[in-house]
Chains A and B, each alone.
Chain A
Amino acid sequence: MKPQAFAYERAESVDQAVAALVEHGDEAKVLAGGQSLLPMMNFRLARPEVLIDIGGISDLRGWSLSQDTVTIRSLTRHCDIQNSDVPGPLGALLRYAAGLVGHLPIRIRGTFGGSLAHSDPSSEWCMMATLLDARMHVMGPSGARVIDARDFFLTVFTPAIEFDEVLTHIELPALGSNYRVNLKEFARRAGDFAIVAVMSAIEVRDNVITDARLCAGGVSDRALRLVQAEAALIGQAPTPETFAQAASLASQEVDPNGDLHGSKEFRQDLVKALTKRSLAGSLT
């Protein structure tokens, strides 16, 4: 349970990190909080020759709010998000989801951007980025670029970040007060990744659903928007019948692989139950 030997470099700025990545090519990996990368290295599932530690770059910590956008910088820790005072429904969803990331000691080291760059399809942040069409900002040798969440998660553990790019910050829409947000997870043990999770954000005006966003984790090689269920919600009244119909559609539109944690049918059933429960409640 020891990682393969590697060289270690500390980057004091994003530019330095990018320069180091350019120098070492795809044999280098970026080290943020290390709560996903170091276990993978201990198992030797990841064997980078060089680690570029960006943990000391203080510019990459914290969040800010401007008009209708909340920007979270990549090294913001899960525990900082859990204790943050981001306003409105987005803040409620961020705080609740952060509390479901691993255990306290993991949340103290692990980072928002690190989790997204790790791209586990069951991760709370990958679900949230997908749910809310987050905009991922990366910096590379030819400058900054933005990757939309729908183009960011290519497959399991594979984000659309080039080997010489660093994820710097993520923009999320500050949801208005008409949004109801929720997250329901099913896991065997506290702190585990969910076997299936469903996150929802619906906007209700005059008792009519005007925007509907649903995202499921644990059913595909990336967090998946439940587009048919979303479409069925728009224009309807937020009633238990509406939610039940959307939940049925949600379970039919996913095609999960079964594994030892749960069969395909069990996961589809979880999507149905969790979608219904997620829509029926609200964190605000």
Chain B
Amino acid sequence: MSSPRESITLNVNGSNYDIDVEPRRSLADALREDCHLTGTRLGCEHGVCGACTVLMNDEPVRACLVLAVQAQGQAVRTVEGLSVGSEPLHPVQQAFWEHHALQCGFCTAGFLMLATSIVESDNVPTDQELTDVLASNLCRCTGYQNIKKAVCSAIEATRK
């Protein structure tokens, strides 16, 4: 069974994408398959792993638990928007590189977007708050300590 497609416009990283999707299309799949922005990864597809985290109106959301049709009219940001072309790396990306906050890289796009929301927020999190927020996403390689160091460093770098 399929259902009629909806014509929607997704605003991703400041650009509009006019796409036709089934209502069941998740935002994550729409980004990858219809907008051809394959930086966003899909892990568990039921909201547990956080690999597909993107920003919607500057807030982190699970793109597997948002339907593409629900994202219409919202400002979506993905890892592709952090630094474009020959631009220097975004401070969060730079910090992840410097602190070896990734190994296999599968969770990295999700962590970068989650970290970007933390770095851009007005609050400087306490150590415990940072631990709690980073627990939203799963990383099976680095063991989180380097990710925490990277996010702390990015917070410092962007507040100078």
- Residues of chain A touching chain B, judged by Cβ–Cβ distance below 8 Å, are 1-8, 31, 34-35, 38-39, 41-43, 51, 53, 55, 103-106, 108-109, 189-191
CA distance A41 to B64 in the complex (A): 11
B70 touches A105 (CB 8 A): no
Which one of B3, B23, B45, B60 contacts A42 once the chains associate, using CB atoms below 8 Å? Answer: B45
Q: Which of B89-97, B129-137, B145-153 contacts A (4 or more CB under 8 A)?
A: B129-137
CA distance A39 to B61 in the complex (A): 14
CA distance A43 to B64 in the complex (A): 12
> Can you give 10 contacting A-B residue pairs, CB < 8 Å?
A2-B29, A8-B6, A8-B23, A31-B70, A38-B26, A104-B132, A104-B133, A105-B60, A108-B59, A109-B65
Tell me the nearest residue of chain A to B60, going by C-beta: A105
Tell me the nearest residue of chain B to A39, going by C-beta: B46
B46 touches A42 (CB 8 A): yes
Contact of A105 with B23 at beta-carbon distance under 8 Å, contacts A7-B4, A42-B45 already known? no
A1 touches B135 (CB 8 A): no
CA distance A43 to B46 in the complex (A): 8
Contact of A105 with B136 at beta-carbon distance under 8 Å, contacts A2-B24, A3-B24, A6-B3 already known? yes
Cβ-based interface call for B22 (8 A)? yes
Contact of A103 with B50 at beta-carbon distance under 8 Å, contacts A109-B62, A109-B66, A190-B135 already known? yes
A38 touches B59 (CB 8 A): no
Please, which residues of chain B bring their CB within 8 A of the CB of A43? 46
Count residues on chain B whose CB falls below 8 Å from chain A CBs. 31
Q: How far is the CB of A79 from chain B (nearest CB, A)?
A: 8
Please, which residues of chain B bring their CB within 8 A of the CB of A103? 50, 133, 135-136
Interface flags, B119-146, vs A, CB<8A=1, else 0: 0000000000000110110000000000
6 A-B pairs with the lowest CB-CB distances in the bound complex, closest first: A8-B23, A103-B136, A1-B45, A39-B46, A190-B135, A5-B3
Q: Within B23-66, which residues are at the interface with A (CB < 8 Å)?
A: 23-24, 26, 29, 44-47, 50, 53, 59-62, 64-66
Which one of A6, A35, A189, A190 contacts B24 once the chains associate, using CB atoms below 8 Å? Answer: A6
CA distance A263 to B19 in the complex (A): 50
CA distance A83 to B132 in the complex (A): 16
Which one of A41, A105, A191 contacts B53 once the chains associate, using CB atoms below 8 Å? Answer: A105
- Residues of chain B touching chain A, judged by Cβ–Cβ distance below 8 Å, are 1-4, 6, 22-24, 26, 29, 44-47, 50, 53, 59-62, 64-67, 69-70, 114, 132-133, 135-136
B67 touches A7 (CB 8 A): no
Q: How far is the CB of A114 from chain B (nearest CB, A)?
A: 12
Contact of A38 with B2 at beta-carbon distance under 8 Å, contacts A4-B24, A6-B23, A105-B61 already known? no
Tell me the nearest residue of chain A to B110, going by C-beta: A105
Please, which residues of chain B bring their CB within 8 A of the CB of A104? 60, 114, 132-133, 136
A8 touches B67 (CB 8 A): yes
Please, which residues of chain A bring their CB within 8 A of the CB of B69? 8, 53
Please, which residues of chain B bring their CB within 8 A of the CB of A1? 44-46, 64
B60 touches A108 (CB 8 A): yes
A5 touches B2 (CB 8 A): yes
Please, which residues of chain A bring their CB within 8 A of the CB of B29? 2
CA distance A220 to B55 in the complex (A): 37
